[in-house]
Amino acid sequence: MDIDFPLVLVVLTFATGVVWLADVLFLKKRRLADRDQGGEVGESESESESGSGDKEPWLVDISRSFFPVLAVVLVLRSFLIEPFQIPSGSMLPTLEVGDFILVNKYAYGLRLPVAGTKVVEIGDPERGDVMVFRYPEDGSTNYIKRVIGLPGDHVRYRNKQLFINDEPLPRDFVARLPPMERWREQLGGVEHDLYLTMGRVSGSGEGEWVVPDGHYFVMGDNRDNSNDSRFWGTVPDEMVVGKAFAIWMHWQSLTSLPSFDRVGGIQ
């Protein structure tokens, strides 16, 4: 079962904050009052000097220690930058399995954690952006693809050629790397590389789509090995998480050492 980390973080932050606040406003005063009353009815001198009557309960101590840390983490990952790990090869050659990336959470507007509701308008996804979003069919799994179509666009994919509003996207052959061919495509103002599988017919990945208002059409750069909008539809704006902008580490598996050879921006 997948753990909803944002929800867990929100709950822990709220819970520790409530406990700490309750102690500041009510519980600490009650402990001090009980200690003073205990002294009046004959508290031992050693007990009074040690201040044991004012000892914080363990839950209050933990909450006071962890709340500031949890609050900072919540703000950073909800509104500024969040790290992700690439689990599949659908974005090859741009992103490899084991890449650790950074995602700009405010590029497309500030959103409430968990709910994803946009509260401050800043910007919108653009063609060519590498975007992280929640998978529309379950609403919780994070996916990463490239933005191909914007609201109102007519997208067509035929014979491994992409058309936007009836215009074929310019592309140049780079290299043959059996079983792949590497091409360089111009998408809006972004030039990026993609993989096409030699000898494989596009098949069910072909079609035509009109992007609804408030939605985005996305595809993986590994065109013949990507589960994307060609198969399950467009991404609604409320599912958008942020814009991937940098690779900060590559770690293939726990049996290998982390590598920093791929550190850099994402095109």
Band the pLDDT of 135: cuts 50, 70, 90. very high
Compute the distance between CA of residue 249 and CA of residue 185 in angstroms, rounded to an integer.
26
Q: What share of the chain has pLDDT > 90, as a percent?
A: 62
Query: Which pLDDT score is estimated for 164?
Result: 98
DSSP code of residue 76: I
Per-residue pLDDT reduced to its tens digit, 109-131: 998 887 778 889 999 999 999 99
Compute the distance between CA of residue 160 and CA of residue 5 in angstroms, rounded to an integer.
38
pLDDT at 91 over 50: yes
Mean pLDDT of all residues belonging to the chain: 88
Q: What is the pTM for the complete model shown?
A: 0.82
Fold of 86-265: Umud Fragment, subunit A (2.10.109)
Q: Which two tokens stand for residue 173?
A: 């052959």
Helix (H) or strand (E) holding 16: helix 5-22
In sequence order, which residues have a C-beta less than 8 Å from that of residue 198 and are 6 or more positions away? 176, 178, 179, 180, 181
pLDDT at 46 over 50: no
- Cβ atoms of 10 and 67 within 8 Å: the answer is no
**Residues paired with 185 in a beta bridge:** 171, 192
Mean pLDDT over 85-89 rounds to 95
Q: Which two tokens stand for residue 74?
A: 């919540």
Query: Which pLDDT score is estimated for 214?
Result: 96
Compute the distance between CA of residue 32 and CA of residue 35 in angstroms, rounded to an integer.
5
Query: Which pLDDT score is estimated for 33?
Result: 76
Q: Which two tokens stand for residue 102?
A: 């950074």
Where are the domains positioned within the chain? 5-79, 86-265
Single out the catalytic residue among 63, 90, 226, 229. Answer: 90
User: Longest Cα pair distance anywhere in the chain, in angstroms?
Assistant: 91
Per-residue pLDDT reduced to its tens digit, 147-167: 999 999 999 999 999 999 999
Residue 68 or 39, more confident: 68
- Cβ atoms of 80 and 133 within 8 Å: the answer is no
CA dist 77 → 14, 102, 146, 191 (Å):
16, 10, 21, 29
- Cβ atoms of 81 and 105 within 8 Å: the answer is yes
Ordered alpha helix ranges (H), 154-248: 229-232
Query: Which pLDDT score is estimated for 1?
Result: 40
pLDDT at 55 over 70: yes
The verdict on whether 29 is a catalytic residue reads no
The verdict on whether 229 is a catalytic residue reads no
Band the pLDDT of 39: cuts 50, 70, 90. low
Band the pLDDT of 203: cuts 50, 70, 90. low
CA dist 71 → 12, 28, 64, 120, 148 (Å):
9, 22, 11, 20, 36
pLDDT at 54 over 60: no
Single out the catalytic residue among 63, 78, 105, 145. Answer: 145
Compute the distance between CA of residue 12 and CA of residue 3 in angstroms, rounded to an integer.
14
Query: Which pLDDT score is estimated for 32?
Result: 77
Band the pLDDT of 43: cuts 50, 70, 90. very low
Compute the distance between CA of residue 102 and CA of residue 256 in angstroms, rounded to an integer.
21
Mean pLDDT over 45-63 rounds to 65
Per-residue pLDDT reduced to its tens digit, 73-84: 888 888 899 999
Mean pLDDT over 25-48 rounds to 64
DSSP secondary structure of 239-250: GEEEEEEEEEEE
Per-residue pLDDT reduced to its tens digit, 235-255: 999 999 999 999 999 998 888
pLDDT at 233 over 70: yes
Looking only at the bridges linking them, the beta strands covering 81-85 and 99-104 are: antiparallel
Neighbours of 108 (CB within 10 A): 22
2: three-class secondary structure by DSSP: coil
